[in-house]
Structure 1
Amino acid sequence: MQTKVNYIVFITIVFSLFTSDAFCQDIRNKNISIPIEKQRDTTKTIKNIPITNDTIKNDSKSQKKKQKLEGIISRGAVDYEKLDQKKKQVTLYNKAYFKYLDYELTAGKIVYDYDKKELYAGRIKDSLGNYSQRPVFKQGSQVIEPDSIRFNTETKKAIVWNTRTTYDEFKIKAAKTKKVNDSVYFMKDIIFTTSEDIDNPEYIFKTNKGKFVPGKKVVTGVTNMVIQGVPTPIGLPFAFFPMSEKSISGFIIPSFGDTNLRGYYLQNGGYYFALSENYDLTILGDYYTNGSFALRGTSSYAKRYKYSGNFNISYENLIEGERGLPDYLNAKLYNIQWSHSQDAKANPNSRFSASVNMGSSNYFRQSLNTRNVGANLNNTLSSSISYSKTFQSIPQVNLSLAATHSQNTNTQSVNMSLPTLQLNVDRVFPFAPKSGIKKGFIHNINLQYSLRGENRINTTDSLFMKKEMFSNMNSGMQHSIPLSTNFKIFKYFSVSTSVNYTETWVFNTIKKYYDENTGQVEQRRQNGFDAFRQYNMSANIGTTLYGTFNFSENSRIQAIRHVIRPSVSYSYTPSFEQYYDTYAIDALGTTINEYTRFEQGLFGTPNNQMSNIANLSIGNNLEAKVKDKETDEIKKVMLLNNLNLSTNYNFTADSLKLAPLRLSAGTQLLKDKMQINLGTTLDPYAINNAGQRIDMWNIDNGGSLFRMTSANATVNYSLSSTDALFGGSDSKKNNENPNVMNGGRADDLFGQATDLADRRKSMFGEKDEEQKESKGFYMNSIPWDLTLAYSVTYSNNNRNSEISNNSVMFSGSITPSEGWRVGFSSGYDFKNKGVTYTQIRFERDLKSWRLDLSWVPNGYYKQWNFFIGIKSSILQDIKYEKRNAADRIYR
């Protein structure tokens, strides 16, 4: 079916090639000799091609104009190139080829009859008598592979037998194709499929006759679907397929089903708009017989070497019950997603990016078009749109503008910044030498300047994009000038000092006062410019200590090294009491409270208490040098990634000057497959009977030196059949979840997300290389993977001594045979004694088709989803899906 324009151009090329001029040039270049008989011939040769010496040779009407070639011609064959003057034929045999412009023909045998102006290309027999070297015609990305081809170079009509071609995702085969003219082809006994192997396809569409208009359409007669050689009842009296190398607009057939509360439905039906090569648009909709409906728009766009992205917007109007009855409910949901990324090569000095996920707080919990438990359990939706630019000046200046959004789906609170301005001027060393190394206290003195301006909105989901949303918007700007330097003392100690000046501008403040009419303390918003200024200073001294313990040369462990990084710092912040006022809290004015008019500002409040704080921190890590058993190569192995402790002491505090001691540790085991993180908080102060900290050491109160107030431990373990531990090669698995943008997890501990609008994609992501290479129903190695996560938290703030959290989660998948994959996700909460979210997944790769079944056996999300359909986007409407999800009650 793909002969189309390729044959038209091919005939023209061959016609040009095998005229007398072109042919003779090839013969002369190949030095092919022509035997001449003893008697004198009555013919004359013009450039080695015999032409009969006729009396009408001077007739101007019989003389043909000289053909001109538009490019270099290349031809040849492995065995021979034969010229038969008697039959007036040229034959190329065994791996014959012909190239001209962007066209290429290869075949076992190519014969041209320059008397009949006919060309023939076909296969040849090998030593076993089997046909081989099928003709292959290529033009650009189009490839045609018939058994044989014959056409006339004058009439430009052609007949092709058993042609094979590929058009987009279609594989097409026709027993006989007849070319009538440049734009119409008639075909007989046609099959077409999206299967990779057209000689042994999983399914085909079969028809007896068809008409092909190159680049436009294919119209067929009665068409029947055949699966594994068995005809099915699926058929059409005729079929029409638009054929174009570009995207084509068209309808999307919806899914049909029924629910208990909303009745029958048509879901995910709509229209695809192929707007241009750079962007498209898909409009989908749902309708339920109880009046519920949904609309969704999806657009993808890209411009090579510039940018790419996609935009999704959804709106759902869900109805339950009957209007006028007590149980009637109408829920309106919406969600907006936008992802934009700029190519790094587009502009090195400026960049624009966007990652937006905002909408109704209950969208992922109530929507009927997505199944993403990870997003359901996530309590936060966040968005960011940013633009940054670097000015290549001296000093360098960096400017950025960003709009951010954060939404708590439990409290339905929304925080937005519209926008945030950030300006940073690079470090300036005023006393550094013009050349050479900066040394000492003076040379390293440097200063910076940064500006941050922000408009922030705190609102709720119900007031989003309404007038009330902007009424309490806060605005402000903050200037910061840090002055710092660093140097070394006693050769091994690094010292850094800094002084920071900050000036904050605000455009709205508050005033608190006692209202005698209401008998309450009132707060009034005051719009107008105001500012406060503050400064602080700090110093830090630290060093690094190394300790190495060496073993014998024959030992597998060659050495263990311990690295300690102690650090002591001091910070001083004076009191700025001038920015504080008082107000009475009763009518008599006997009780006075202190406040600052900058309380609700964007950048905090001025410090009203002098602060002298010393901080102590110690970092540790432990690593070993291990000799490989086979190669004797020395490798570094991390035994302890970190062991950190920190605390601080406030000299100016009237009590509880020492802060609790925080300990944390982390390591990786089993070739980084297992991550272990530990943490605990130790308080040196005792508590009273009410559970409050008192200014008394815990050891003086009859306890230990420190009182453990909390402790936590997390263990994550990932392993698979590709790990070296199980004989694999430690290849990385690329199983990116396409719905991470919704707010779900990248792993599948909470199950795999399902997009009901597009079920053609695998739940397991792309296949691993090990699975791709496996052959046969039974496999020697069975690919699998397993992820484990364990978390436990101990709480003892008020001597309650309890395990507040204790749970384990696991997920994995296994490929028992080629094409089959089974996945699972579950866990157990030891604290609440219950099974966590559980999902079981089955998938069958049927090559051209895909079958999957996901099942949630218990809980709020109890459901099952079944799908079978063709993978190809061209035939994505040929599918069957059925799902049974519990109707959700919205209250």
Structure 2
Amino acid sequence: MTFPILEFTFVLQKIRNTFLKFMYIYNKTQAVWLVLFLLFAIAPGWCQPVLPQKAAGDSIGFDADEVVYHVQTRRVELTGNATLRYRDLQLKAGHITYDQNTRHVTARALPDSTGAKTVGPPQFTRGSEKISGEYMVYDLDTERGSVRDGRASHQRKHYRGAHIALDGQKALNALNLSLSTCDRDHVHYDFLCKNVRILQDDKAIGRSVTFRIGPIPIFWVPFFVFPVKRGRQSGLLTPGVGSNSRDGIFVHNVGYYFAPSEYWDATVKSTLRERGGFLLESRFAYARRNRFSGSMDIGYDHDTSGDGTAHNWRFNLQHQQRINATTNIRGSGQFSTSTNFDRRNSNNLYRYLNRQLRSSFSFDKRWTESGRSIDGSLTYYRDLRAKNNSFQGFPRLSFRQNRRRIFGGNEPTSVTGPWYRAFYYGFSSTLSNNFARNPDPVPNTERVSIQNRVTVNSQHRPLGWLDLTPGFNFGEEFIYSDTDSTTRRTSYNAALSSGTTLYGIFQPQIGRLRGIRHRFQPRLNFNYNQSGSIFQGKMGFGGNRRWDDARRSINFNIGNTFELKTQRDDDVRRFTLATLNLSTGYVFDAPRQKWRPLRTSASLKPDRRVDVRIAMTHTLYDSTGQRALLHPRLQNLTITSNFRFSGGQGGRGNMVIQSALPDRYDPGYDDGYDAGYGGGYRGRYGADFGFERDLYSDFGGASQPWRFNLSHYIAMRRFGNTTSKTSWIKADIGI
């Protein structure tokens, strides 16, 4: 970006001021003559009066590869990746010209190597409007503009017009406008309007409307109204045209959307095929906030692609309702008379590949005070390919009791209360009935199960500083199945966890450092697990019991955290400088190597811009499998380093012009552009950039944000006698 005239003006100003001060000291008479000379020689060109400025919200911001300010004509030219911002307006183009006198903005594309103007076509954004074109003119005061060969998109509708005129904030007019849902450069179908007026967030009114498939006109109407309002509203749907090898040319989405209420709406649409019949679809949806919602979909396929005519139906429904604050019901169903309905009529990949129909009903109820809840469901699947019926959870009932105190009700636990009030329990039970009805010769299956689980745990501090947490889990499942010989499964788990937290505090008072705190957290966990199964018998009674081997283990964990406190004036900051954690364990029932690997993790974050993390795994056995607790062997090492820097720097990267208030209007002024339809803006407004008072006051305080990220990763992994290493460095800069 260059500012040749601006920099030259700034240099002259500084030289003039310094020289005047020097001459005033030594010779007042000569100083008077020099002042008069400078006023008459320099002031007419560059020393214009500074007019009252607008608020910061009315400033014009722009940037480009090259910026040139023409002092005499008071125009700013932006060339190469040009961007201009004003209020909620943003304009991007290859070349932008801003006239301060008229407050007119013109934008155009730059020529490419062949001479065609295709580099940086103008792109205009104002609020929700987005328009692009070949050439553009806009008046910042009247908010009127003109676009040649314009294009716009709104709610999946695409507009193309030979000439589009922006009429204030609420409307735009267009000549020879093409409207379509096809986003291709050469649209397959569209509505061609000779003259159209688009009201923002309301409707588009077109005159002499022709519906075309490619270049071929299909039908014509004298006028048509297209809805462009945001949100739900009744109206005709926008049809689309397509083709495939099966149906030939087809027109889809021909129908009507009816939204008479905020609580429900309905849609009826059709698909007309060149061959293969037609498809009718309807959808009825309803909803009331925090009460209920649902929908019903009906599809009818009139299929003439075969030897005869087939009439296929599909019906889907779903409903969910909130009975009260703690009770809900939900239901859904899918029904079809054809196994290929979705494969023939859906473009959705999941529905095309899905070969199942699913219907379900469920309810749930909870009691918040006691922490209890119950839910039930019925689920049915129909496999269209295998033609079998599967009932999964038909029914399925579940009861759950959340964590609750065994003694003492729900009163808060007192620190000095009896120890037995710190015991809690939880319970859950689930009944599930699953069966399938298969076509011959595949046999039917049936499985009924009842799962129960009980948990008991507690937390104590016997010495005031030692945490002691015992826990016990018991689970059991009763099974009736015609395919599984196991009729009962049982599992036990007992755990005892103990630990404490020790603090070390140092107050060095060095520089801004006010304190260092070390948090040391050792912890020990003991676990006992055992499970068993019963074979044969009835629902777990009778039969043969077999116990699995018990597993006993003990785990050791040590955590270290180093925290700093700094102070600068009244700004106090606390942050974590580093962490160091180690863990290992011992498995009593392991056949060979009973000691678990030693895992180490560490982090260092001296500043928010620096973050280093280390992870290591050591085996406590040597290469021959012998125990070596004092000489652990490194197996894995990972080091990740991240350095992040960001900021903003003042300079000439972004230039902001504080525009003056309009002071006069000249209806006789013509800027030389008249497109014949909303163009030809006439008017002159007095304005001033005010560069003379302080050249950098307009753009020197602007900030150009930047960021720089540098990441380094190194990893080492050892497998037996083989060692692999990985390392990479990544850097990125954003401006």
Q: Normalised by the shorter chain, which TM-score bucket?
A: 0.3 to 0.5
Higher relative contact order (CA 8 A, sep 6+): 2
Return the TM-score normalized by structure 1: 0.38
Return the TM-score normalized by structure 2: 0.45
